[in-house]
Amino acid sequence: MPSRKPIVVVKYGGNAMTEEALKEQVITNICLLQNYGYKVVIAHGGGPFIKEALLQANIESEFIDGHRVTTPEALEHVEKALKGQVNGSLVKLINKLGYKAVGLSGKDGKIATAIKRMHRKEVDGNVEEYDLGQVGNIVSIDTGLLELLLDNDYIPVLACLAADVDSNEYNVNADMFAGHLAGALKADKFIVLTDVDGLMRDKDDPSTLIPELSVSDIKKLEEDKVIQGGMMPKTEACEIALKNGAKAAVIINGTDPEQLLAVGKREPTGTTIVS
């Protein structure tokens, strides 16, 4: 039996995805985590690429409270962007760097099972439901295929697509997808790459960085508007990961590749969230 190395799941996205030179630097440092004794899993979305693909297909993007409505026609183009474009380029880059990448989505080997997600919104004291189309929530993760790959030193690269038990296909929020993966794999670390140095009490003042917090602090920080906007799905994903078995979650700046190396060297960096 191979020795049990710690697993790290990296949620990759943001500016680190769209700028070619930065992308290469970040992916190099994610791969280096393997040299530091970790088994590495990468989960990604691809917002800018989806937007471009839908634009080229003349499919208008409709949003409800910031959530993209995904029609069956749109899902076809979402999948092409995620798997054909983003996933394919990451696999090529990792292999070029001398590591072994395997491109997957949650649909492969039934890794991720989803259910249709309805968006709920309170209007005049009543909760109304909105249909987002082919958008899903993860209900279970089967880690068998991933563990097989990890035990043989492959780096699985997963696009945030999943199907339900009847094989209906869904696009899944990449942060949530990654959080569920990290939890199911009992990851030693769930690394969330953002465009800032971590969670700050004042987002415009780097000196207010919160180096560590526990899951129980999240609700209060949301009430105090410390956690807001794009940081909300990130902390929610960390919460999902920790509640499902991950040991720690770390929010770091994906545009500063040195922060990734600090995680590899087990040095404090960014904001660490623990149970």
Task: Return the half-sphere exposure (C-beta side, CA atoms, 13 A cut-off) of residue 258.
Answer: 1
Instruction: Please name which of 181, 172, 168, 177 lies closest in space to residue 7, comparing C-alpha atoms.
Output: 181
User: How far, in whole angstroms, is CA 184 from its chain's centroid?
Assistant: 14
Average pLDDT, the chain: 93
pLDDT of residue 1: 44
Which of 15-24, 52-61, 159-168, 216-225 is the least confident region? 15-24
Q: How far apart are CA 178 and CA 173, in angstroms?
A: 9
The fourth-level CATH superfamily of domain 7-274 is: Acetylglutamate kinase-like (3.40.1160.10)
Cα–Cα distance for residue pair 77/54, rounded to 1 Å: 6
Higher-confidence residue of 4 and 233: namely 233
Residue 171, C-beta contacts closer than 8 angstroms, at least 6 positions apart: 68, 70, 75, 78, 79, 82, 134, 135, 136, 160, 161
Looking at residues 188-193, what average pLDDT do you find?
96
The residues near 77 (Cβ < 8 Å, ≥ 6 apart) are 50, 53, 54, 57, 59
What average pLDDT does this structure show over 237-251? 97
Q: How far, rounded to the nearest angstrom, does the alpha carbon of residue 173 sit from its chain's CA centroid?
A: 8
Could you tell me if residue 270 is left (phi over 0), alpha (psi between -120 and 50 degrees) or otherwise beta? left
Q: Centre a 10 Å sphere on the Cβ of residue 172 and count the other Cβ atoms it contains.
A: 24
Residue range 155-174, pLDDT digits in tens: 999 999 999 999 999 999 99
145 to 52, 203, 248: CA distances (angstroms): 32, 40, 23
pLDDT in tens, 208-220: 999 999 999 999 9
Calculate mean pLDDT across residues 247-273.
Answer: 93
pLDDT for 64 equals: 83
Q: What is the mean pLDDT of residues 181-203?
A: 95
Q: Where does the pLDDT of residue 2 fall: very low under 50, low under 70, confident under 90, or very high at 90 and above?
A: very low
**Model confidence band, residue 3 (pLDDT cutoffs 50, 70, 90):** low
Give, in degrees to the nearest 5, the angle at Cα 109 between 74 and 80. Answer: 25
In angstroms, the CA 169 to CA 184 distance is: 21
Handedness of CA 102, 139, 18, 35 (dihedral sign): negative
pLDDT tens, position by position, 121-143: 888 888 889 899 999 999 999 99
Domain ranges of the chain: 7-274
Q: What is the pLDDT of residues 66-118, one digit of tens each?
A: 778 899 999 999 999 999 999 999 999 999 999 999 999 999 999 999 999 99
**What is the C-alpha to C-alpha distance for residues 61 and 64, in angstroms, rounded to an integer?**
10
In whole angstroms, give the CA distance from residue 250 to residue 267.
Answer: 12
Structure tokens at 2: 């191979």
Q: Are strands 67-69 and 62-64 parallel, antiparallel or unpaired?
A: antiparallel
The H-assigned helical ranges of 97-190 are 144-151, 174-184
What is the percent of the chain where pLDDT is above 90?
A: 80
